[in-house]
Amino acid sequence: MTTDNQSRVVLSVEGVTIDTRPAGRKPIVRDISFDVKEGETVCVVGESGSGKSVTSMAVMGLLPKDALQVSKGRILLDGEDVLQVSAARMRALRAAGVAMVFQEPMTALNPVKTVGEQIDEVLRLHTKDSAAQRRKKVLEMMERVHLPDVTRIYKAFPHELSGGQRQRIVIAMALILRPRLLLADEPTTALDVTTQKQILHLIKELQEQEKTAVVFVTHDFGVVSEIADRIVVMNRGELVETGTRDEILTAPKQDYTRMLVSSVPSLIPRRSPVTGQPKVLEVVGLVKRYGKKGLISDHSVLAAQEVSFTVHKGEITGIIGESGSGKSTVARCVMRLTDPSQGAVVVNGQDIVPMRRLRDVRKQVQYIFQDPYRSLNPRRTIGQSLMEGLINYGIDEGEARRRAGETLELVNMPASVMNRYPHQFSGGQRQRIAIARAVVMKPDLLIADEAVSALDVTVQAQVLRLLEDIRANTGVSILFITHDLRVAAQICNTVVVMQKGRIVEQGAAGDVLANPRHDYTRALIDAAPAPDWDFQNFRPAAGMPGMAPA
């Protein structure tokens, strides 16, 4: 979509500085300026802590009053400064002028009211329509966001809907009064890729019909390249660069933008399978059933069925799937954090499923958790966390300390951090510490359960490189669980694609990701945002077999 220069500017952010209250040493956001025109989508991109969400909250007038304030600049909505208006006027503006869609649709909706009533409430508060008129409008709007069976969904409660449907409801609520500006703060981050694609399409479609200006806050360059007309790159509260989509993606001017864009892994598989190495892990016919199967009724859920795959020494095997595919269940079964219902998990030639003493096997397999903020005990120092496993296996404290220090250096952290506590580190640093804690045990197999999903792209790129280095240096095998095809393409030798507890396809990463045979794999690859863009080289991905340019 192109925007001609004659389009009216809907939102104009002029030199906005946001300070903490009382003012701290450094403002949170410094001197940000950008415009959004009618019918245009501007993506505000940045890593966590870049100030992108705070900026969008300021536009909505939603900054927490006792903590943050706009200390300089103007925010003009159709020429009216939202920082100066009265509370009553702001309420009116929020209804008709600017609407917002949040990241987590479950928390944005009231759990004890039907979704129909919640959309209706917007109309009841802001229009003089009769109940019958409102109901008609609500149903119409629900149809426009492509919800099926709208009269039934009108009466549904939020928990009865899927994540994608909930986000559609939130979008319907936001757009029913036809606002001039839609602020979307990471609206698709909590959704699966296939759902994400649908929601992005929906926003685009409604925007074209209504000429709404859209500010889309996101950290995901895949999403950006799909929908943005213009891009605003932010870093640590400052505006780094603005430009059209093509300018930023093909020829970024600033170093930071270059680094940010090139950190996005591309979908082109890079590694081939390892050959001629012994099997480290073999999973045979694994079944995990939650709940009990009665004589007549069956309330059990099969989280994994007939899962079989192998991991060779020095190999990185990816398990790919959306939420609910059973990929984490498999990982937990391999670790015996969850007990499998049937099947065998053979580690170094030994089936660990019937084992009673897990201590002996635990040393051979180590686990890296998704959330680095919760996987380290906040009350224990880094050194204590790192040495815990070694000491459990009878290594004396001095030796454990020495090894912990060495391993910290392996993950590019100085050994001197051992006396500090986890809260003193950033997410990426903590994840490296968590990796060090696993690697220090010298395991044969590492299980990385969404280990880079919670990290910013630049940090994610570093951690992926680190895992790759550790594999090269120690010859450890890695079972890499992820929902992100890009990450899998980047690091995995072989991949296993799971859907609803079953393996639908497995093989060399190059084969599965480039020439998917199963429909589900194909759907996943199609849904991945911007499959045709090679971010690392700032150009369209050329010559990807089996992939048509969008």
Partner 1 sequence: MTSDTAPSKPAQTELDLPDMAEARNDSGVAAMIRAILSSWPARISAAVVVLIVAMAILAPFLGTVDPVQLDPSQRLQGSSAAHWLGTDSYGRDVYSRVVYGARISLAVGAGTVVIAVAAGIFFGVLTGYFRWADIIVMRFMDGLMAIPGILLAIALVAISGATLTTVLIAISIPEIPRVARMVRSVIMGVRSEPYVEAASVLGTGALKMVWRHMLPNTVAPLLVQGTYIFASAIMTESILSFLGAGVPPETPSWGNMMADGRVYFLVKPELILYPGVMVSLTVLSVNMLGDVLRDRLDPRMAKRL
Token pair belonging to 320: 């790919």
At 457 the three-state DSSP class reads helix
Stretch that binds partner 1, among 136-144, 369-377, 496-504, 527-535 (CB under 8 A): 369-377
* Minimum gap (Å) between residue 265 Cβ and partner 1: 21
388 near partner 1, rule: CB under 8 A = yes
303 near partner 1, rule: CB under 8 A = no
Question: Using CB under 8 A, which of 377, 472, 542, 546 touches partner 1?
Answer: 377
Cβ proximity to partner 1, 336 vs 500, nearer residue: 336
Q: Give bridge partners of residue 293 from the DSSP assignment.
A: 298
* Phi/psi of residue 254, nearest 5 degrees: -90, 150
Crossing angle of helices 519-527/193-210, nearest 10°?
50
Residues 400, 382 contacting (CB under 8 angstroms): no
DSSP string, 286-349: EEEEES-B-SS-B--EEEEEEEEEEEETT-EEEEE--TTSSHHHHHHHHHTSS--SEEEEEETT
Distance, in Å, from the CA atom of 168 to the CA atom of 145, rounded to the nearest integer, reads 6
Token pair belonging to 403: 């090894």
Strands 350-351 and 494-499, bridge-based pairing:
unpaired
292 near partner 1, rule: CB under 8 A = no
Cβ proximity to partner 1, 214 vs 365, nearer residue: 365
Give whole-number Cα distances, 522 to 245, 250, 485, 497, in Å: 27, 27, 11, 11
379 near partner 1, rule: CB under 8 A = yes
Cβ proximity to partner 1, 253 vs 465, nearer residue: 465
* Minimum gap (Å) between residue 380 Cβ and partner 1: 7
Cβ proximity to partner 1, 84 vs 377, nearer residue: 377
465 near partner 1, rule: CB under 8 A = no
335 near partner 1, rule: CB under 8 A = yes
337 near partner 1, rule: CB under 8 A = yes
Residues 318, 494 contacting (CB under 8 angstroms): yes
Question: Using CB under 8 A, which of 89, 146, 380, 522 touches partner 1?
Answer: 380
Question: Using CB under 8 A, which of 437, 471, 483, 486 touches partner 1?
Answer: 437
* Minimum gap (Å) between residue 383 Cβ and partner 1: 8
34 near partner 1, rule: CB under 8 A = no
Please report the sign of the dihedral spanned by the C-alpha atoms of residue 59, residue 61, residue 63, residue 66.
Answer: positive
Crossing angle of helices 255-262/457-474, nearest 10°?
60
417 near partner 1, rule: CB under 8 A = yes
Cβ proximity to partner 1, 195 vs 366, nearer residue: 366
Question: Using CB under 8 A, which of 412, 465, 475, 549 touches partner 1?
Answer: 412
Site for partner 1, rule CB under 8 A: 335, 337, 358-359, 362-363, 365-367, 369-371, 374-380, 383, 388-389, 392-393, 397, 405, 412-421, 423-426, 429, 434, 437, 441
